[in-house]
Amino acid sequence: MSFVVGFTYDLREDHVRLGASAEDVAELDTPQTIDAIEAALTALECRVERIGDVQNLVVALAAGRRWDIVWNFAEGRRGLGREAQVPALLDAYDIPYTFSDALTSALTLHKGMTKHVLRGLGLPTPDFALVSAPEEAEAVTLPFPLFVKPVAEGSSKGVHERSRVATRAGLRSACADLISRFGQPALVEAFLPGREVTVGIVGTGPRAEALGVLETAFAEPDRAYAFSAKQAFEPWVEYRLADEPLASDAARLAVAAFRGLGCRDGGRVDLRCDAQGRLHVLEINPLPGLRPAFSDLCVLCDLKGIAYLELIRRILGSATERVPSLRESSRGARL
């Protein structure tokens, strides 16, 4: 059976035309990524109908368009709940979709809320404080050095070499800058000086499993979280599969976080070691980048020998398990 798959996404070029900067659109997608996903879905015997962003989805739904399932890759328009906008709309119309639901999408975008839940689950994450106004930086009691980043951005947006701060004046300045630029609180965390890994995950609930563990080795430690290194990584970053026992420990912790936060189908969990080598969860990405040969999840799959088509197949297969009609049909198809 051929599924009709709607395809929601946000293109960088559309937002640039509206005046957005390169950093503003860093977590949005390129035409090459959208083409690659569509080609993979087509190879899996799906009929793909491009929808585009959340506003296009509203128009399509109002016009009566429907799909067997939606491959949701849209980041949303604005606000702390933007990644939940498309899932919430699709839930309202009872249309199934890939990746996490509205609750998890909103929760994981807000790194501070995510860390509260991780703490409630008993999972390690760096000590932190939220600073909503520059003067609140004076009340932060965490020991220096600290790391400061926007509370609800991805792709290392708002992160640069000055994000690691060692003084009260530096903390005030970093918080004021982020609050002004992004219109959201700054997340202040204890700085972890150890190794950094990201774990790729596919599946849902008890079936969620780690695809592998990618270690990010930096030429200069201060570039570890930087936006500039993320966008032009080759001079600064070496990606390699993590060795043992770090890999096994990271996989167990990442899967526990992924399941505990209710993530579905696929995603990434970023972790970093403290000075004693203990792993901590930094953040969870339930809508992982899928740009071939560039996005962390794709780099990991390349190193593990997992083809791009297989990655897309496993994500879609996880989502169709939630849809009885598609689940039965997929058993005789390429899913």
In a domain, 113, yes or no: no
Q: What's the whole-model pTM score?
A: 0.92
Q: What is the mean pLDDT of residues 274-288?
A: 97
24: Cβ contacts below 8 Å, ≥ 6 apart: 15, 157
| Domain tally, the chain | 3
- Is 94 in the same domain as 44? yes
How does DSSP assign 174-236, residue by residue? HHHHHHHHHSSPEEEEE---S-EEEEEEESSGGG-EEEEEEEEEESSGGGTT-HHHHHS-TTT
Q: What is the mean pLDDT of residues 253-279?
A: 98
Q: What is the mean pLDDT of residues 100-128?
A: 98
Confidence band of 78 (pLDDT split at 50, 70, 90) = confident
CATH assignment at residue 256: 3.30.470.20
Beta carbons of 290 and 175 less than 8 angstroms apart: no
Distances (CA, A) of 33 to 152, 164, 189, 241, 260: 23, 32, 32, 24, 29
pLDDT in tens, 121-169: 999 999 999 999 999 999 999 999 999 999 998 767 888 888 999 999 9
CATH assignment at residue 75: 3.40.50.20
Which residues form the domain of 27?
A: 4-98
- Is 205 in the same domain as 306? yes
pLDDT in tens, 182-239: 999 999 999 999 999 999 999 999 999 999 999 998 776 555 445 444 545 556 789 9
Question: What one-character DSSP code corresponds to residue 143?
Answer: P
- Is 159 in the same domain as 86? no
Tokens describing residue 172: 């005030």
- Is 311 in the same domain as 206? yes
- Is 163 in the same domain as 250? no
Domain stop point among 146, 162, 190? 190
Torsion of CA 8, 9, 14, 20, to 10 degrees: 140
